[in-house]
Structure 1
């Protein structure tokens, strides 16, 4: 394994789950707005890792100082919104999100990360490598 592959393995499972829970709570709060809130909640879940105003981090990842990067470029998802949507689709489809959680717990990687070719790493590791690895 090279140095880049080791970066994403350092993120504890508990931090990833807590960041995900923060994002789910935010999506639920957004969806409480009358009539169209549910659409914005779903949009947030789909695009949360590619939001440029958050520098390519979701609110949950920002709180826990994590970042999702696009492989093989090791770049922020703010430049790769389609990868964020693939990851988000797995989260909003009921059967897939259960399978995804199982893979995260047992294999330490989400199927969404495999399908979207992404990894979750510590933000400071990404910044230390010059943001473009």
Structure 2
């Protein structure tokens, strides 16, 4: 009997150099706080404008923003918090998230669970000096990372 031969693939480079430099921890945390405030603003705007039975609709709207915010085409693939902090989410191969609903949902679905965002922040902080630096669980699940967004320079004539 011949021994079993297992063919292994070369490990793919997990982090593309073109994807950009990892965003610093403080930028990520502040961006998350800004996005939380945006979510609260959405909620209270709907509840104030449409009182009564629309409170559940407001929660659905906030959840929809939270899980799709990194792929919304009208925001150019950045959440409002990421725009403010000049960061963005990219896939590990460096490709953009604009319109990639599936990856955004996989990355952010845990955040609609109460207190899971706090757990993710703690994970992000404790991994700051480890090989998993800059990756929360959602980044691992969706194979994404948060990088510094390139600043666009104005056209020079």
> Is this a same-fold pair by TM over 0.5?
yes
Superposed counterparts of 1:1-133, under 5 Å = 4=17, 7-9=20-22, 11-32=23-44, 33-34=46-47, 35=54, 36-72=57-93, 74-94=94-114, 96-107=116-127, 108=133, 109-124=135-150
Q: Which has the larger radius of gyration?
A: 2
State how far apart, in whole Å, the 2-side matches of 1:22 and 1:97 are.
Answer: 13
TM normalised by structure 1 equals 0.82
The structure with the greater share of residues assigned to helix is 1
Once the two structures are superposed, residues 37-76 of structure 1 have per-residue CA deviations (whole angstroms, 9 ceiling, x without a partner) of 221111000100001011100001011111100123x111
Once the two structures are overlaid, the 10-residue window that deviates more, 44-53 or 87-96, is 87-96
Q: State the shift of 1:95 in Å.
A: 5.3
Aligned residues: 124
* Runs of 4 or more consecutive aligned structure 1 residues displaced over 4 Å after TM superposition: none
Q: State the shift of 1:6 in Å.
A: 8.4
State how far apart, in whole Å, the 2-side matches of 1:114 and 1:7 are.
Answer: 17
Q: State the shift of 1:28 in Å.
A: 1.1
State how far apart, in whole Å, the 2-side matches of 1:14 and 1:48 are.
Answer: 19
SS in 2 for 1:45: helix
Indicate the RMSD between aligned Cα atoms, in angstroms: 2.3
Structure 1 gaps of 5+ residues are 128-133
